[in-house]
Structure 1
Amino acid sequence: MEVVIVGPSITRTKGGMATVINDMLQNRNPEVRFTHIVSHVEGSASEKISRNLDAILEFLKTSKMDLVHIHVASGASFYRKSLFVLLSKLRGKPVVMHVHGADFDSFYNSSSSIAQWYIRMIFSFCSSILVLSGFWRHFFEKNISNKNVEVLHNGVYTQFFASCYTMPANLSKFLFLGRLGQRKGVYDLLEAADILVNRHHHHDLVFYLAGDGEIEQVHRIVQEKGLQNNVQVLGWIGEKEKMEWLKRADTMILPSYNEGLPMSILEAMAAGKIIISGRVGGIPDLVTEGVNGFLITPGDVESLCQHIAFVKSNPQEMIRMAENNQRKIDAEYNLARLNEQLFSLYRRLVRS
């Protein structure tokens, strides 16, 4: 079976979508052969436009194609990928549209009525719409398409992260993995760090902030609040570096305002980390309060402080939660099992 993947570069883009595509390309099932057409790279506007035009030409020239699997987010990503949906329809090929955007609901709801009609039309041409959680299935079925919507969780190869388990040696250390900015809640985290360190004297707390984005502004706030000994701004880190930093903290903290199903949380759970996160998107499917982590209302800095202090002070309970996380990921988000779900979908669509 020849499957064409349309999505961003796995070497010149950052984030969860590129990670998912990279994992797909590691497939060893001889039944499925992937061709990756790179539709987007990070860089200048001219580079992005050139890459998209090249991708369209490459798509038109590709002769071996039983099915097209398109990875899409919101905004410009959707409009770029919609061209590939239309081209696939002209070629009579089934399309799997795999939606990753953490803010696709905001994108759709803020679009004009004509744009909303176009979004619905594009999705109506898709043989299957894959979303990351029950939250997103409900949104799509209510607003965009009431058919062909299926949940396919992001997943991880759990064995890769077993060596990162350190509980409870690093309970006072917290790792943030994501783009530094308001959407991921990094400024709420800095406010919480200020309260805990400077007001409540938890001087042993350390927060590692890994990601691109508003790095200079975050550095400035760290300096202003005198948190240089407690907050390390790491910038973007690669896969090997990420594994090393997962070994230095026992809690993954992501107080986001909206999310899909973050790869960073899945990986942290597989590594046996406690999760403190915003109660948004697909995260409540992953984290049950008090069982394998803690959920906060976005913007609730007081609750964030309470949970950080609780984690640090309750090692036996945290060991139990960490073990719950590893069991949950292996049972429900193991990529080997999820791949079989995906390949079963491919077979069904190609046969029909």
Structure 2
Amino acid sequence: MLKVLMIGTAYEGRGGVAAVIEGLRQAGFFERHQVYFVATHADSTRWTKLRMMLAAVWRVLYICLRHRPGIVHVHTSSRASFARKSLLLAIARACGRKTVLHLHGGGFREYAQIESGPLLRWWIRRTLSRSSAVVTLSDSWSGFVREYAPQARTWVVSNSVPVPPVGAAAAEAPARLLFLGRAERDKGVFDLLEAMAVLVPEFPALQLALGGDGDLAAVERSAARLQIGGHVSLLGWVGPEQRDAELARATVFVLPSYHEGLPMAMLEAMAAGKAVVVTPVGAIPEAVSAGENGLLVQPGDVAALAGALRALLADAALRARLGHAARATVLARYSTEAALARLAALYRELGLREGA
């Protein structure tokens, strides 16, 4: 009997959900728990995405009826992703399978409370309540889910990252900020450019490396308008090797988002021992304590963002202290081993035995 059918975006793709699934695969979780993976989405054309989804519906139905997996584990975020995955969860439930709904992405609260009408809110609550377990990234997200759908059974499994060996300090470039994320307003990238314009006169060598896809043309135009084009490098999408190289070179990691779940890029930067400047949104405040293992600024507060970056650029000892504490936080709470153990415990709670 197949143990686990896992469903989500293609693990070789881009974004935080793909990174989580790829992390599970690389850590051997698929083999230990006999996981069969079905991709419902990939970075491609609209027609290809539609074909993938239709194929996934039939594959999930066939696997649930023919192989009867013990658990159907679905990774989702909001909006179209939730619409796709909630349909597959309904199919799995109709086939009598236990289901795990794994929530990612920082926009789910807004999607569920503000963007959705009465019928969609009913469907979201029904999906949450009828899942055997709802995995959230933090205690605060778990609390929200239980308030929104009181019958939901939540289980907290934080995102995790591998912790690399301590890098050589010599690899770090002076006055180099690193942003990893989609180039859009919700990630705070335009606020970051405004803060750069404030800081460049004080730090003439300052550079911002911006890794990620999105509206890069708008970023370029904004940098030109602010007269900082020569201080901004658009890297485009970066793969794991380039990401690690950029983290090694970075003086400070910055992600001034308006909405987040628990960003993988932030955890990767912390694991690399970098001082981080982030916003207290989503599950970030449960990972970053202001002044202890990073700096927190409110979303949209350009002056505070510039101030936090200024403090770190000017104080190597502060950067080192925060970076060391950030790495220790990941080792203690967000290592791959800790997350895998927590997820395995959920599977056991649902009656699945490892190696059986």
Decide: shared fold, TM above 0.5: yes
* Superposition map of 1:1-352 within 5 A: 2-11=3-12, 13-28=13-28, 31-62=32-63, 63-64=66-67, 65-109=69-113, 110-158=115-163, 161-164=164-167, 166=169, 169-170=172-173, 172-197=175-200, 200-350=201-351
Structure 2 distance, partners of 1:351, 1:269, is 33
What is the Cα deviation at residue 343 of structure 1?
0.8
Deviates more, 1:73-82 or 1:228-237: 228-237
Deviates more, 1:144-153 or 1:168-177: 168-177
TM-score scaled by structure 1? 0.94
Per-residue deviation, residues 205-237 of structure 1 (Å, max 9, x unmatched)? 111111100101111122222213311111111
Q: Name the SS for the 1:209 alignment partner.
A: strand
**May I ask how many residue pairs the two structures share in their alignment?**
347
Output the amino acid matched with 2:109. Answer: D
Per-residue deviation, residues 266-294 of structure 1 (Å, max 9, x unmatched)? 11000000110111111111111111111
Aligned residues of 1:123 and 1:145 also touching (Cα < 8 A): no
Structure 2 distance, partners of 1:201, 1:250, is 16
Output the amino acid matched with 2:338. Answer: R
Structure 1 spans left out of the alignment, 5+ residues:
none
Output the amino acid matched with 1:102. Answer: G
TM-score scaled by structure 2? 0.93
Give identity over the alignment, percent.
32
Structure 2 spans left out of the alignment, 5+ residues:
none
Per-residue deviation, residues 285-319 of structure 1 (Å, max 9, x unmatched)? 11111111111110000001111110011111221
RMSD of Structure 2 on Structure 1 (CA): 1.7
Output the amino acid matched with 1:81. Answer: K
Aligned residues of 1:254 and 1:277 also touching (Cα < 8 A): yes
Structure 1 distance, partners of 2:125, 2:4, is 24
